[in-house]
């Protein structure tokens, strides 16, 4: 039987099989969501050993909570939410910065402005797709705070919608847009320090 995470009926089929004692079905869930889990964990947690423990913790929580999954989102999005919340708890316990004060932590009136700068958005979009393996791009992305790095990754690399990102992070859609606007601006400012403006 073919399984594809993202289709509601298939999600239900997988969940039912896991709850029925089918370990292989949970292995399929892990296989098809581990990329998303890794993306979030690697952007939010720096310590390599902690990353391994975090991923294991995420799937343990998912397995234990699977009977409570209400199918109000994709199964992969739900696991992404568990991953994000697990990382946030880790960062808070370590008393690490979630959003750098220099980046701003209050969306305020910028929500409207988040969709009013197509030149900036297009510039970053183009750079993401054309030079996503660039060492400089990776370096500048790593300078962002954990939350901003995660939003950039979910939007640009995982191709998630504002709604899906909101489901994972718990942010209202307007806040997701505003934080992405700020994250792209911070990333663009960093890139401009290495490239001429004409290139962007």
pTM recorded for the entire structure? 0.76
pLDDT tens for each residue of 41-90 = 999 998 888 888 999 999 999 999 999 999 989 999 999 999 999 999 99
Contact 36/43 with Cβ under 8 angstroms? no
Torsion, CA 187, CA 46, CA 54, CA 133, rounded to 10? 50
Phi, psi for residue 163 in degrees, rounded to 5: -65, -45
Q: 195: which residues sit within 8 A by CB, 6+ positions away?
A: 136
Count CB neighbours of 65 within 10 A: 12
Give me the residue spans of the domains in the chain.
Answer: 8-93, 110-199
Average pLDDT over residues 3-28: 80
The number of beta carbons lying within 10 Å of the beta carbon of residue 67 is 9
Question: Per-residue pLDDT tens for 151-169?
Answer: 999 998 889 999 999 999 9
CATH of range 8-93; options 3.90.1300.10, 3.40.50.720, 1.10.1740.10, 1.20.20.10 = 1.10.1740.10
Given a cut of 70, whether residue 200 has pLDDT beyond it is no
Cα angle, residue 21 at apex, residues 18 and 26 outer, rounded to 5°: 35
| Cα-based distances in Å from 95 to 44, 91, 153 | 13, 6, 23
Q: Which fold has domain 110-199?
A: Arc Repressor Mutant, subunit A (1.10.10)
Count CB neighbours of 84 within 10 A.
Answer: 25
* Tens digits of residue pLDDT in 92-138: 988 877 776 665 544 444 444 444 344 455 555 555 555 444 667 77
Identify the DSSP state of 155. Answer: I
Q: What is the pLDDT, as a whole number, of residue 113?
A: 41
- Measured CA to CA, the distance from residue 72 to residue 122 in angstroms comes to 32
- CA distance linking residue 87 with residue 40, whole number of Å: 8
């Amino acid at each position: 039987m073919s399984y594809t995470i993202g289709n509601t009926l298939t999600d239900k089929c997988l969940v039912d099989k896991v709850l029925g004692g089918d370990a292989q079905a949970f292995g399929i869930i892990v296989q098809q969501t581990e990329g998303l889990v890794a993306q979030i964990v690697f952007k939010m947690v720096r310590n390599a050993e902690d990353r391994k423990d975090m991923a294991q913790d995420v799937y343990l929580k998912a397995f234990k909570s699977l009977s409570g999954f209400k199918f109000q989102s994709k199964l992969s999005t739900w696991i992404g939410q568990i991953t994000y919340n697990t990382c946030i708890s880790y960062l808070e316990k370590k008393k690490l910065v979630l959003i750098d004060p220099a980046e701003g932590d209050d969306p305020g009136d910028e929500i409207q402005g988040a969709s009013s700068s197509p030149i900036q958005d297009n510039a970053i979009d183009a750079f993401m797709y054309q030079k996503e393996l660039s060492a400089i791009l990776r370096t500048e992305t790593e300078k962002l705070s954990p939350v901003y790095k995660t939003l950039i990754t979910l939007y640009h690399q995982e191709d998630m919608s504002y709604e899906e990102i909101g489901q994972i992070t718990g942010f209202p859609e307007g806040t997701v847009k505003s934080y992405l606007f700020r994250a792209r601006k911070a990333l663009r400012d960093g890139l401009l320090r290495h490239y001429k403006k004409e290139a962007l």
